Every structure is written in structure tokens, then in C-alpha cells.
Amino acid sequence: MKLIKDSAEFFIFDNMPVEQAIKRTTHMSIAAHQDDIEIMAYDGILKCFNKPNNWFFGVVVTNGSGSARDMEYKDYTDEQMIEIRKLEQKKAAFIGEFGALALLDHPSKEVKDPKNVEIIDELLDLLNEAKPEILYTHNLADKHDTHIGVTTKVIKALRKMDKADRPKKVYGCEVWRNLDWVVDTEKVSFDVSGHPNLASSLVEVFDSQIVGGKRYDLATIGRRLANATYSESHFIDKADQVSLAMDLTPLIEDENLDISSYVVEYIERFKKDVENRISKML
């Protein structure tokens, strides 16, 4: 496969030829930045880890040049950060035994440009090669503009696929805004209790982010622990760690659904739930 950027690349941990590696995909994640996959799509990684018939394909759309940095990384140029973050992402793909990893290397400004259709077509090519059964991306209530830029382009790419080849499920996952506010009947909960050592290792490998000033390692596991405990008020915990997602599948099943309205309706239902609970006590 030919990617748009000359600096873009594939990484295959077991050295299988790229096209064969991608075609074995069952679970796929398309994320904005290096480490987003490990934070939001651990369910997919876990479902494929040490499973001979399941393979995880991770796609990172941006080059990560704008990341926060401190300590020994504080004087790194954007170019140096791009290279270190690529290396860290490859380490994570090796630890998690990803079937394939694609680093598309786009600047964030291109991802956030609604007129940029090249990235949509590039994602379409990857999706058509992989034909995943399950796809994980960012949720539409995320507060990071680049994440929203990725998700909207993913949805547009999915809508261009033949209907028979589209994923059975598409999930919008937590990174820069959690999803515990979603009403319980609509919340997608993933039990990600398995291999806690792997879960921690996958996030901890991104040293430039953690030492650079952002404790994603603690925050990610902490959020999953909190999700597990606070998911039910009247019952004991059913899992040690839980990650949450928004079901985006209807957006690829019905191409007439408005993307913005779809997520706003989630918020309206949350608003109604709050109003109903208060009104019962007045």
C-alpha cells in the first residue's frame, strides 16, 4: 500500500508482509495521536492479544509534533518529538502484538481541515484492505479538536465503503472527555480487567508524554478503575477495570444521519435524565 506522506510508514511486529498483515485484521483502531490507541482501544488490543484468530490493526493519523514536553524532552524540536513518538508507538505495537501499525504522519492542521478529503480517501484505502469487524475511534463528545477531526473523517470514509464490507460495530471511545455522563441504557461498557500488566505497560512506554509532563499512565488506569466502581450504585463491581464508549454504528448504517445531531441527542437524553431524577424529589 502507498500512504500519502513520504514519511508515513507501516510497522509489523512479526515481519509479515504488510498487505498480508493488514488483511488478517479483525479489530482496528483509528486514532489521532501516538498513545491514543492504548488509552481508548485497549478492549480491541485485549481481544486480540495471544489470540491466533484475532488481530489488531492500529492507525495513528497525526505526527504528534505538538505534544507537551518537559524534563529531558523540554528542548526537543517538533521534528525530534515526531521521531521519538514514532519509536514509542512502535514499542507499544510490539508489546501489544498488533497485527499491523500504520503511522500516517499528518500535521494536526490537515486533520482538522474539513476540506481535506485526501485523508478520508487514505483511511478508506486502509479500511478496505483491513475490513475490520470492530472499529474503535474517538467519541464525538471529545474536547480535542484533532480527535473530532479524525472521527468525522473516519465516519466519512466508512460511508464510502461498500455496505457489505463495513464494520459490524464502530465505537467512539474515551480520551479527552470521559463518557460516564451517557445514560446507562446507551453506555457501551468494556470489561478491560484482563492482563493489567499489559494495560499499564502499553501506556507507560510513552515516556516522552509521561516524563514530559502528562501522567497518562496513572490517569488512564484510574479512569478505568473509577468506571468499574461507579458504574452501579446498588450492586458490587462486576469488573476491575472498565472503559466506556459511544456506539457510532448507526452513523454508518444510515448515511442520512447528521453527525452533529447524533451526539447532541445523547446530550439531550442526559439532560432529560437529570431533570427526571430531580423532578421526582420535588
Residue 194, CA distances (Å) to 42, 61, 178, 197, 259 in order: 10, 27, 21, 9, 33
User: For residues 277 and 264, what is the distance between their CA atoms, to the nearest angstrom?
Assistant: 20
3-class state of residue 28 by DSSP:
strand
What are the structural domain ranges in the chain?
Answer: 9-279
% the chain with pLDDT above 90: 87
pLDDT of residue 69 exceeding 70, the answer is: no
Pick from 55, 51, 85: which is nearest to 67 by CA?
85
pLDDT of residue 67 exceeding 80, the answer is: no
User: The whole model's pTM is what?
Assistant: 0.95
Interval 236-264: pLDDT, tens = 678 899 999 999 999 999 999 999 999 99
Q: Give the model's pLDDT for residue 26.
A: 98
Beta-bridged to residue 65, according to DSSP, are none
pLDDT of residue 93 exceeding 90, the answer is: yes
Residue 192, CA distances (Å) to 25, 141, 274 in order: 20, 22, 28
How high does pLDDT run on average in the chain? 94
Class of domain 9-279: alpha beta
User: For residues 259 and 171, what is the distance between their CA atoms, to the nearest angstrom?
Assistant: 14
**Residue 104 backbone dihedrals phi, psi, to 5 degrees:** -80, -25
Query: Which of 68-82, 93-107, 137-151 is predicted least confidently?
Result: 68-82
Gyration radius (Cα) of the chain, Å:
19
